[in-house]
Amino acid sequence: MNALDQLRAPVAPAHPAVRTGAGNGHCCSTCPLPGLCDDSSRRGLPDALLESVLEQQHLQAGATLYMAGQRRSSIWVISTGALKSCELDLEGREQVVGFHGPGDVLGLERIEISEHRGFALALEPTSVCRIPVGKLLDRLTTAPELWREVLRIAGSQIARAREVHRVLGQLQTGQRLAWFLLEGTGPRRDACQCSGATVIQLPMPRQDIASYLGMTLETVSRSFGALQREGLVSVQGRTVRLLDPARLAERIVPQAAHA
Amino acid sequence: MNALDQLRAPVAPAHPAVRTGAGNGHCCSTCPLPGLCDDSSRRGLPDALLESVLEQQHLQAGATLYMAGQRRSSIWVISTGALKSCELDLEGREQVVGFHGPGDVLGLERIEISEHRGFALALEPTSVCRIPVGKLLDRLTTAPELWREVLRIAGSQIARAREVHRVLGQLQTGQRLAWFLLEGTGPRRDACQCSGATVIQLPMPRQDIASYLGMTLETVSRSFGALQREGLVSVQGRTVRLLDPARLAERIVPQAAHA
DNA sequence: CGAGCGGTTGAGGGAACTCAAGCAGGGTGG
DNA sequence: CCACCCTGCTTGAGTTCCCTCAACCGCTCG
């Protein structure tokens, strides 16, 4: 599945892991940091022209956006596609700490720090807008209102991480998967009308979901199976149809989903 | 134990959960956001005078800094003491998502968002500097260099949260506790010379440690016992002496600490 | 065709949870 | 003063959830 397919597909428009850039029109119209990449006079230009102005990077599935040890020099705004970001431990084992879709901002966590500790990798063909840190700081000096946006985005990423902490801390595996399906994965999940989305196209393999949720891939598979047996979802590979989002949501309540 | 005792105590100066504000002198000399609370002309004033200028809040143990549902209006910089911040789920159960000590900045995660979802509570007598959001934004406009500091702090909190994600995701309970003892809890843990600290005074009960690390208080207790039986630490209530930090650190390596 | 990858399913064991009892320390009141 | 309670912590016994190990399936690709 590539980004173009997603744009055309009538299903699955809403899950954060696969949401499309702008729906209709260029992703700049929904950019969370408008005016950062260059002056805003060019807004309204044809998409093809915009492409030529932007500092865009295109990644194939499996390509890395940045790697551990690499000197950090940019932040990125995702236009289309999906990425995962990972941390590495001392033994080199990877831990998925985030999935990111169009509109998400990457790299804020290491701004002002010399090099990356983890890495980010495209899960499918992906394009991002690169914003050099120098330009970011310049812009912030001359256009202080951008400030609030960046701070808002950083704050929402912190809040998001706390939510994940809660999920890993007090939900059991089946509940974590239900949460994952409903709440999605990006810092901008608020923009996702979850109840309306009934079909999800997951861009990541089971192993990545397992890592992200702190469980094994077998348990992810079994949990999918359990949810399916109960009629809550219908699973076929990476296509998941939410048959009963309301009852699925009940599952997320900690301790005893008494129903 | 109160903040003053800690300042005097010859032991346990370094653990993030109990580190002292400035060591010697007023906490402003080590403030991560100097010049934010007011103009910087007063730096160098006697401590007593500084106190009168600052918008300081003093909290008794158990007092809340902010509560769920409360309209957000400030960020805070901790001067002395210790706090925990918690998230609440739909059933009102609390999940500890952070412990904070002197120098830590609270409230960035909800900036620009109307109300708090969780709460923060003092674990011991605590004083904080309150910075109204309005003043923060004003300062940032007139003094754009502050910018980098705020962004750096927010970034380090994101990075910190990712580290916690990794710990909850791939370490078992005994390893999580070892990590907690060594790496501490605050976003400024880098300032802590962990290897030098041999005695830790924990300001929080077992239940809070358990919640933070995603385990039960019984398991926390048993894990302390296990570490003690192996001669790695010596535990007496909330006083923990690190007998062998090096071997303790080996424990944190995921999967098999083959030793 | 076989190899490789991603995913599913099963059997068994172990880590951590639940439930429960017991203990130490601190405060209060008779 | 001691009895009493209450809170925080420890320890034990039994159970459950989830991990580990393994086999198997379907698909793609060489």
Q: How far is CA B31 from CA A60, A130, A241, B37, B202, in A?
A: 44, 33, 51, 10, 23
CA distance B122 to B3: 12
Tens digits of per-residue pLDDT, B75-96? 899 989 999 999 998 788 899 9
pLDDT tier at B115 (50, 70, 90 boundaries)?
Answer: confident
Mean model confidence pLDDT for chain B: 78
Mean pLDDT of A249-253: 88
Tokens of residue A250, six digits: 């009940």
pLDDT tier at A137 (50, 70, 90 boundaries)?
Answer: confident
Q: What pLDDT, on the 0 to 100 scale, is given for residue B10?
A: 36
Nearest to A169 among B117, B162, B214 (CB): B214
State whether residue A77 sits within 8 Å of chain B by CB: no
pLDDT tier at A158 (50, 70, 90 boundaries)?
Answer: very high
Nearest to A112 among B98, B148, B253 (CB): B148
| pLDDT exceeds 60 at position B73 | yes
Determine which of B108, B119, B131, B151 to mutate to test the interface with A (most A C-beta atoms within 10 Å): B151
pLDDT tier at A26 (50, 70, 90 boundaries)?
Answer: low
Mean model confidence pLDDT for chain A: 78
Q: In Å, how far is A143's CA from the nearest CA of chain B?
A: 9
> CB of residue B239 closer than 7 A to nucleic acid strand C?
no
**Which nucleotide is nearest, taking the CA of residue A218 and each C1'?**
C8
> CB of residue A219 closer than 7 A to nucleic acid strand D?
yes
Q: What pLDDT, on the 0 to 100 scale, is given for residue B24?
A: 41
Tokens of residue B169, six digits: 């995701």
Query: Which of A16-20, A43-47, B65-69 holds the top average pLDDT?
Result: B65-69
Tens digits of per-residue pLDDT, B5-45? 333 333 333 344 444 333 445 667 777 877 666 654 455 55
Q: How far is CA B200 from CA B103, B166, B190, in A?
A: 18, 24, 17
* Burial letters A210-238, b for 16+ CB under 10 A, else e: bbbbbbeeebbeebbeebbeeebbebeeb
| pLDDT exceeds 50 at position B54 | yes
Q: What pLDDT, on the 0 to 100 scale, is given for residue B231?
A: 94
**Widest CA span of chain B, in angstroms?**
57
- The string of DSSP letters for A165-200 reads HHHHHH--HHHHHHHHHHH-SSTTGGG--GGG--EE
Confidence (pTM): 0.85
State whether residue A172 sits within 8 Å of chain B by CB: no
Which nucleotides of strand D come closer than 7 angstroms to any CB of the protein?
A: 8-13, 17-22
Q: What pLDDT, on the 0 to 100 scale, is given for residue B32?
A: 81
Q: What pLDDT, on the 0 to 100 scale, is given for residue B228?
A: 96
Cα A175 from chain centroid (whole Å): 20
- The string of DSSP letters for chain A reads --HHHHHH-SS----TTT--SSSSS-GGGG-SSTTSSS-GGGTTS-HHHHHHHS-EEEE-TT-EEE-TTPBP-EEEEEEES-EEEEEE-TT--EEEEEEE-TT-EESGGGTTSSB-SSEEEESSSEEEEEEEHHHHHHHHHH-TTHHHHHHHHHHHHHHHHHHHHHHHHH--HHHHHHHHHHH-SSTTGGG--GGG--EEE--S-HHHHHHHHTS-HHHHHHHHHHHHHTTSEEEETTEEEES-HHHHHHHTSSS----
pLDDT tier at B50 (50, 70, 90 boundaries)?
Answer: low
H-type alpha helices, B80-236: 133-142, 146-170, 173-183, 206-213, 217-229
Q: Options 3.30.465.10, 3.40.50.720, 2.60.120.10, 2.30.30.240; which CATH number does B3-166 get?
A: 2.60.120.10
pLDDT tier at A3 (50, 70, 90 boundaries)?
Answer: very low
> CB of residue B70 closer than 7 A to nucleic acid strand C?
no
Q: In Å, how far is A213's CA from the nearest CA of chain B?
A: 7
Q: What pLDDT, on the 0 to 100 scale, is given for residue A8?
A: 33
pLDDT tier at A172 (50, 70, 90 boundaries)?
Answer: very high
Q: What pLDDT, on the 0 to 100 scale, is given for residue A161?
A: 95
| pLDDT exceeds 80 at position B172 | yes
Within 13 Å, how many C-alpha atoms sit on residue A212's CB side? 25
Measured CA angle at A230 (ends A226, A232), to 5 deg: 95
CA distance A89 to A94: 7
- Cβ A140–B137 below 8 Å, yes or no? no
CA distance B77 to B146: 15
Strands of the sheet with B233-236, listed across from one edge: B199-201, B239-242, B233-236
Residue A88 in contact with residue A97, Cβ under 8 Å?
no
CA of B80 to C1' of C26 (A): 26
State whether residue B48 sits within 8 Å of chain A by CB: no
State whether residue A253 sits within 8 Å of chain B by CB: yes
State whether residue B208 sits within 8 Å of chain A by CB: no
- Cβ A161–B161 below 8 Å, yes or no? yes
The chain A residue lying nearest B213, using CA atoms, is A169
Domain ranges of chain B: 3-166, 171-258
Tokens of residue A251, six digits: 């599952």
Residue B152 in contact with residue B145, Cβ under 8 Å?
no
Percent of chain A with pLDDT over 90: 44
CA distance A66 to A120: 6
The amino acid that residue B217 corresponds to is L
pLDDT tier at B161 (50, 70, 90 boundaries)?
Answer: very high
CA of A112 to C1' of D24 (A): 50
Higher pLDDT pick, A137 / B205:
B205
- Cβ B214–A148 below 8 Å, yes or no? no
Tokens of residue A82, six digits: 């999906």
Tens digits of per-residue pLDDT, A39-91? 545 555 555 555 555 678 899 999 999 988 888 778 899 989 999 999 998 78
State whether residue A95 sits within 8 Å of chain B by CB: yes
Nearest to A93 among B163, B164, B254 (CB): B254
**Residues of A with CB below 8 A from B252's CB?**
90
CATH no., domain B171-258: 1.10.10.10
C25 nearest neighbour residue (CA to C1'): B237
Q: What pLDDT, on the 0 to 100 scale, is given for residue A160?
A: 92
Q: Which residues contact B230 (CB under 8 A, 6 or more apart)?
A: none
Using CB atoms within 10 Å of the CB of residue B217, give its burial: 0 to 12 exposed, 13 to 18 middle, 19+ buried: middle
Q: Which residues contact B197 (CB under 8 A, 6 or more apart)?
A: B12, B13, B14, B15, B242
Strands of the sheet with B126-132, listed across from one edge: B56-59, B126-132, B74-80, B105-106
CA of B226 to C1' of D19 (A): 22
Using CB atoms within 10 Å of the CB of residue A8, give its burial: 0 to 12 exposed, 13 to 18 middle, 19+ buried: exposed
State whether residue A166 sits within 8 Å of chain B by CB: yes
Q: How far is CA B51 from CA B46, B54, B105, in A?
A: 9, 5, 18
Could you count the other beta carbons within 10 Å of the beta carbon of residue B179?
A: 20
Q: What pLDDT, on the 0 to 100 scale, is given for residue B210?
A: 98
Instruction: Map residue B56 onto helix, strand or coil.
Output: strand
State whether residue A175 sits within 8 Å of chain B by CB: no
**Residues of A with CB below 8 A from B254's CB?**
89, 91, 93
Q: In Å, how far is B211's CA from the nearest CA of chain A?
A: 7
pLDDT tier at B46 (50, 70, 90 boundaries)?
Answer: low
Nearest to B74, CA basis, from B109, B100, B30: B109
Q: What pLDDT, on the 0 to 100 scale, is given for residue B109?
A: 84
Residue B215 in contact with residue B129, Cβ under 8 Å?
no
Mean pLDDT of A216-245: 95
CA distance B161 to B169: 12
**Residues of A with CB below 8 A from B140's CB?**
144, 147
Could you count the other beta carbons within 10 Å of the beta carbon of residue B160?
A: 21
